[in-house]
């Protein structure tokens, strides 16, 4: 029991820190493109010829296409991470499928925007870039954060299942050994049941947040609270084990 307790606490400690979805855009280097754009803008300021204007516009379009390509990679990577989750609960599977559909929407949005880049002029490219940024902040980023939290939530379901089974096993063992009659054992068991109940309640609250897919939300704080109560449950298990050994050894 102690070895399982140690393993679970370690898993809980790790799970309490978000494992963010890797964003492909972090690996996209636009520095050379922006340096080239700065040079082309200087060239046009020095000589506002049509050729220099076209050169600046061409660089702007290259950068916009690179940004959109990276955004598409972001969404596909995030979608793959959510899709790879092994989920047995039909209700959570339904939530998973909604996430996958939402990421499809993001990819389709960026792919459609790419078809518009070729027709942009200088001012149009500036407005286009601002629009992409605003849409990303309002739609893309919230979905990515929700996806990250959903991954944490999904992986924690196994911890909840193991803790529930362990609680049932401990109760049966205490009854078989007639240790349930001791007040200290009853109190510790009551604490374990209470903490597990709170962990389960928070877990269900988090499920409802993901089911609604609304933003902003407090999904991460609810998940963290659930894991905190689950940690306390395992500490209760350890205390029960220690107290039971004292009673048995006389």
On the question of pLDDT at 160 being above 80, the answer is yes
CA angle 98, 102, 106 (to 5 degrees): 170
Q: Is 122 helix (H, G, I), strand (E, B) or coil?
A: helix
Position with higher pLDDT, 246 vs 232: 232
47-61, 74-88, 92-106, 132-146: range with lowest mean pLDDT: 47-61
Contact predicate 192/5, CB 8 Å: no
Alpha helices in 84-182 (DSSP H): 90-117, 122-135, 141-176
C-alpha–C-alpha distance, residues 218 and 172, integer Å:
37
DSSP-derived secondary structure letter, 216: S
Torsion sign, CA atoms 88, 92, 98, 100: negative
Closest CA to 198 of 170, 233, 241, 169: 233
How does pLDDT run across 88-103, given as a tens digit for each residue? 899 999 999 999 999 9
7-11, 68-72, 127-131, 189-193: range with lowest mean pLDDT: 7-11
Q: How far is CA 215 from the centre of its chain?
A: 13
What would the two tokens of residue 98 be? Answer: 């909604």
On the question of pLDDT at 10 being above 90, the answer is no
What would the two tokens of residue 109 be? Answer: 């949005």
HSE-CB for 152 with a 13 A CA cutoff: 27
Domain boundaries, the chain: 2-248
On the question of pLDDT at 17 being above 70, the answer is no
What number is the average pLDDT over the span 69-79?
93
What pLDDT score does 46 carry? 66
What pLDDT score does 82 carry? 96
Average pLDDT in the chain: 84
| CA-to-CA dists, residue 134 to 24, 119, 130, 139, angstroms | 19, 21, 6, 8
What pLDDT score does 147 carry? 94
C-alpha–C-alpha distance, residues 79 and 9, integer Å:
29
C-alpha–C-alpha distance, residues 113 and 178, integer Å:
70
C-alpha–C-alpha distance, residues 8 and 156, integer Å:
11
What number is the average pLDDT over the span 223-236?
95
């Amino acid at each position: 029991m102690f070895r399982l307790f140690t393993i679970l606490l370690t898993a809980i400690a790790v799970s309490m820190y978000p494992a963010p979805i890797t964003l492909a855009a972090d690996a996209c280097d636009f520095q050379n493109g922006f340096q080239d754009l700065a040079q082309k803008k200087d060239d046009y300021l020095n000589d506002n010829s049509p050729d220099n204007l076209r050169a600046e516009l061409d660089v702007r379009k290259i950068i916009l296409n690179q940004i959109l390509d990276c955004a598409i990679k972001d969404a596909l990577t995030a979608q793959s991470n959510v899709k790879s989750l092994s989920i047995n609960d039909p209700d959570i599977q339904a939530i998973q499928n909604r996430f996958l559909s939402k990421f499809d929407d993001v990819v389709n949005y960026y792919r459609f925007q790419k078809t518009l880049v070729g027709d942009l002029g200088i001012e149009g490219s500036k407005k286009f870039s601002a629009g992409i940024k605003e849409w990303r902040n309002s739609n893309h980023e919230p979905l990515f954060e929700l996806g990250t939290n959903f991954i944490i939530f999904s992986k924690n379901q196994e911890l909840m299942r193991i803790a529930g089974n362990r609680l049932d096993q401990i109760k049966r063992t205490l009854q078989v050994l007639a240790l349930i009659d001791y007040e200290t054992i009853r109190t510790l068991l009551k604490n374990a049941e209470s903490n597990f109940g709170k962990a389960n309640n928070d877990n269900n609250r988090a499920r409802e947040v993901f089911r609604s897919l609304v933003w902003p939300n407090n999904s991460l704080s609810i998940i963290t609270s659930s894991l905190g109560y689950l940690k306390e449950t395992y500490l209760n298990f350890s205390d029960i084990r220690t107290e039971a050994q004292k009673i048995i050894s006389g």
